[in-house]
Structure 1
């Protein structure tokens, strides 16, 4: 547990004290998702450090008393990095966390080297997904009620993950957020969009989308790609909203190729 910005947060780190030629990754999770949900990704990127934390009211972080927004949470995150002794990081975010990753890179550009955006959008200017999937996404019962999650898993996340052993493993790692914690995460993005600022974002950026994502359709990735000058777009065939799990090896290979290529380019 760490305290930053007046908030107590549960923080997880991997390999920060181990020697590495790579920058650590700062990861922003999806809405309502706890650290354990993405721990396999942190373990797979085993040649670099990794930092992640539970948002207020999510996982092991205490329930928030007052709401927050993207600006205050980005400031809080920068304070966490200060306490961990990290001046520069690569930033990655998925879904809701992809929006936070964009905002952090825009607000604290001096702390960010590269950006990886997964299954995300420019906020309020997004092309909405399937109404059936969005209605289930907004319902925190998907974390609380195992039967609800099982029934609506394919609607939420696509068929690809449901056909693999990763479905059960993912569901077993989830811990339900508090209702206030979940609501405050929704509230934090109300009216927010990165679109006007993205043309000024000069960071090398990898955008990853699933072509069968019912929550954030791939056209949102194309929109981000058109706005961010130094970006590249990778769309995973048959990938739903959780393509990082259903297309695990392909996703990790894509991320590694991007990070290693940018490092080689910088060294040259």
Structure 2
């Protein structure tokens, strides 16, 4: 099987006073589609979601390791969603990108919401995957949370293998076992400080008061068997974001993006390729 990082240009970028390991796919290739800016889940390195970039070959793709995760150096001082969204905007400028489709999974879905609210001029459409509106969320299975917080999930493949179903659900599907093993093999543990600062970043943060003002077309994707972020959180996002749609995946756990890869990619592509309903309505009214 081809390495999902094949074709990625990996660099260490100095932006916003930080050094970030950054991966860019196809940004130098002509395309009829906007590139995607992707925010990863907590503690996750670029390689964890690289298969998604490989599965959308018609689009540019930009992702980075948060400070203290993957191969980005430890953060010297804590950061918050505002400063990290500003840093991501600086990174887009470094690549000469003035508009992107923004996407995020889990913790990164919260960052994607904040980025779209803080930088609406840089954001066309928003895709939120297995995520919540922040601190005001409906919590998942307590057993999944305690195992999620255990650092062994990054460094002990046997621990991860044993508890994968509790952590992520959705492992009964054809091919899911292979996807699970492949995912475990791509993980690299964050540093203790990197993980702690990532947790601290979202403490007290909620997008709920701002979501009714979100002007972007938004796709919300949730796994119906998600033990960490129950599907009700997606329904809350759908109720709060005016121009949004919710798509759920039967049997999908927290990592349905990997276990239900074909369906996930098809849903993302259909959403991103759809005509701009807001522009069409304005054109019709004129």
- Distance (Å, rounded) in 1 between the aligned partners of 2:278 and 2:181: 40
Name the structure 2 match of 1:164.
177
Q: 1:129 aligns with which of 123, 126, 140?
A: 140
- Distance of 1:159 and 1:216 partners within structure 2: 13
Aligned to 1:256: 269
CA–CA separation in structure 2 for the residues paired with 1:141 and 1:181: 15
- Aligned-partner Cα distance in 2 for 1:184–1:141: 18
Match of 1:204 in 2: 217
> How far apart, in 2, do the equivalents of 1:117 and 1:262 lie?
19
CA distance, structure 1, for counterparts of residue 278 and residue 122 of structure 2: 19
Query: Does 2:80 align with 1:69?
Result: yes
Q: Which residue of the other structure, out of 217, 227, 230, is the alignment partner of 2:243?
A: 230
Q: 2:27 matched to 1:23?
A: no
**CA-atom RMSD in angstroms:** 1.4
CA distance in structure 1 between the aligned counterparts of 2:206 and 2:271, rounded to whole angstroms: 26
- The range that moved more, 21-30 or 160-169, is 160-169
Q: Distance in 1 between matches of 2:193 and 2:157?
A: 20
Instruction: Map Cα deviations across residues 50-90 of structure 1 (whole Å, 9 max, x no partner).
Output: 00000000001001111101010001000000101000000
Partners of 2:257 and 2:63 lie apart in 1 by 16
The answer to whether the 8 Å contact 2:144/2:227 transfers is yes
Pick from 131, 143, 160 the counterpart of residue 120 of structure 1.
Answer: 131
Conserved 8 A contact 1:161-1:243: no
Q: Could you tell me which of 104, 107, 122 is aligned with 1:96? A: 107
Partner Cα separation in structure 1 for residue 105 and residue 42 of structure 2:
9
Distance in 2 (CA, whole Å) between partners of 1:38 and 1:205 is 20
Q: Distance in 1 between matches of 2:227 and 2:127?
A: 20
Give unmatched runs, 5+ long, in structure 2. Answer: 1-11
Residue 189 of structure 2 corresponds to which residue in structure 1?
176
Deviation at 1:263, TM superposition (A): 5.0
Q: TM-score, normalised by structure 1?
A: 0.97
Instruction: Count residues with an aligned counterpart.
Output: 268
Q: How much does 1:161 deviate?
A: 6.5
Deviation of the 1:139 alpha carbon = 1.9
Larger displacement relative to structure 2 (233-242 or 147-156): 147-156
- State the 1:136 CA deviation: 1.1
Bigger Cα displacement from structure 2, 180-189 vs 141-150: 141-150
The SS at the match of 2:154 is helix
**Deviations 1:120-161, CA, capped at 9 Å, x for gaps:** 000011000000001111222210122221121110011426
Q: Is the 8 A contact 2:170 2:259 kept in 1?
A: no
Structure 1 unaligned residues grouped into runs of 5+: none
Residue pair 1:212, 1:238 contacting (<8 A) in 2 also? yes
Residues 263 and 47 of structure 1, relative CA distance in 2, 3 Å threshold: farther
Is the contact made by 2:20 and 2:66 (CA closer than 8 Å) also made in structure 1? Answer: yes
Q: Is the 8 A contact 1:161 1:242 kept in 2?
A: no
My pick for the range that moved more, 153-162 or 172-181, is 153-162
1:265 Cα deviation from its structure 2 partner: 7.5
